[in-house]
């Protein structure tokens, strides 16, 4: 059953809505959506969990993966698994943005509906399934650029009042939105796809190339003033952006972030049309490149890694990172 929110013609059109629903999206109103993460489905069956569990203590089976800007983004990254044909542009101006209270209520309802089929699954522990009906975390990372949603601040505040931690992933093209947040996310992720303007633009393919790098630098310079947990995320592609480790180290040091994640590109979904398996680094590649970054930073050392997610976690040596579980 769809959300009762009306004015659908002003957001995601019906043809696209039908495509997304066929791919097990739960659509919320004009512009938002929920989809079960691969790791949520694995974790509920005791078949493994997301790197966020290993690094930060997040239960994958209690995590909602969603977006308030499902088909809008300021960049068209080569590594993105979402089809470009689904993109409705780089701006959400021109139509009413849905009430954040309704989005939160509907995303929770959507998560429970998507999880309902696991209640009678023979491989699912009944008690664990019941716990999954009490979500604890929201990964605002499903698709699109969430800072395009004009009620993001209120959305985050409502999540926190309901006892939900929030992991917000942004590409840094709207630093002014982050600067004006009164309700900062529990953890802020900044995606960094290149250590120089040319490398970054070649992979992210921003709609506004002249401003994208400048906005990214503004976001990095802003980050030290944001009083929340912060992560720089590198999505690394063989033969593309696994170069200039000293520049990645410098950008991290400028950001004041607590963590640097280096994660390997995965050729899945529509990303397969842009880059094949030969562009996927393995964990050995990621660890080697992470060591090169650490060698160029006065702060960083490798503190953990996840083979299943092909991801390496770096942080300051004296940072009490194991106390971060929430």
Q: Which residues contact 212 (CB under 8 A, 6 or more apart)?
A: 74, 75, 173, 200, 201, 204, 206
What pLDDT is attached to residue 99?
96
What pLDDT is attached to residue 113?
96
**CATH code 3.20.20.70 for 8-323:** yes
Residue pLDDT, tens place only, 190-248: 999 999 999 998 888 888 888 999 999 999 999 999 999 999 999 898 888 999 999 99
Q: Could you state, in order of their start, the residue ranges of all structural domains in the chain?
A: 8-323
What distance, in Å, lies between the first and last C-alpha atoms of the chain?
32
Tokens 């630093």: give the residue: 175
What pLDDT is attached to residue 237?
86
Q: Give the tokens for residue 197.
A: 């303007």
74/219 Cα distance (integer angstroms)? 15
What pLDDT is attached to residue 268?
53
Sort strands 300-306 and 311-316 into parallel, antiparallel or unpaired.
antiparallel
Residue segments in the chain with a per-residue pLDDT below the cut of 70:
1-10, 79, 81-87, 265-278, 317-326
203/185 Cα distance (integer angstroms)? 27
């Amino acid at each position: 059953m769809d959300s009762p929110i009306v004015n659908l013609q002003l957001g995601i059109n019906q043809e696209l809505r039908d495509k997304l629903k066929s791919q097990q999206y739960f659509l919320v109103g004009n512009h938002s959506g929920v989809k079960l993460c691969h790791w949520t489905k694995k974790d509920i069956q005791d078949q493994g969990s997301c790197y966020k569990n290993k690094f930060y203590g997040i239960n994958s089976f209690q995590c909602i993966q969603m977006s308030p800007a499902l088909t809008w983004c300021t960049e068209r990254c080569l590594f993105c698994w979402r089809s470009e044909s689904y993109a409705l542009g780089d701006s959400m101006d021109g139509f009413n943005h849905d009430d954040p209270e309704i989005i939160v209520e509907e995303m929770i309802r959507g998560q429970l509906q998507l999880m309902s089929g696991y209640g009678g699954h023979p491989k699912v522990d009944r008690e664990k399934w019941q716990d999954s009906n009490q979500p604890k975390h929201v990964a605002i990372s499903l698709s699109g650029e969430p800072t395009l949603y004009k009620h993001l601040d209120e959305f985050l505040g409502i999540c926190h009042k309901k006892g939900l931690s929030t992991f917000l992933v942004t590409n840094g093209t709207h630093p002014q939105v982050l600067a004006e947040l009164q309700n900062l996310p529990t953890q802020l992720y900044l995606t960094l796809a290149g250590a120089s303007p040319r490398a970054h633009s070649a992979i992210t393919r921003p709609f506004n190339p002249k401003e994208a790098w400048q906005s990214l630098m503004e976001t990095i310079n802003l980050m030290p003033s944001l009083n929340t947990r912060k992560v720089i995320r590198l999505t690394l592609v063989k033969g593309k952006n696994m170069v200039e480790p000293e520049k990645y180290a410098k950008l991290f040091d400028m950001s004041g972030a607590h963590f640097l994640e280096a994660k390997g590109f995965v050729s899945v979904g529509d990303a397969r049309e842009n880059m094949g398996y030969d562009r996927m680094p393995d964990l050995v590649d990621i660890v080697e490149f992470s060591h090169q970054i650490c060698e160029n930073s006065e702060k960083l050392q490798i503190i953990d890694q996840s083979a299943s997610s092909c991801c390496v976690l770096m942080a300051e040596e004296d940072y009490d990172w194991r106390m971060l579980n929430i």
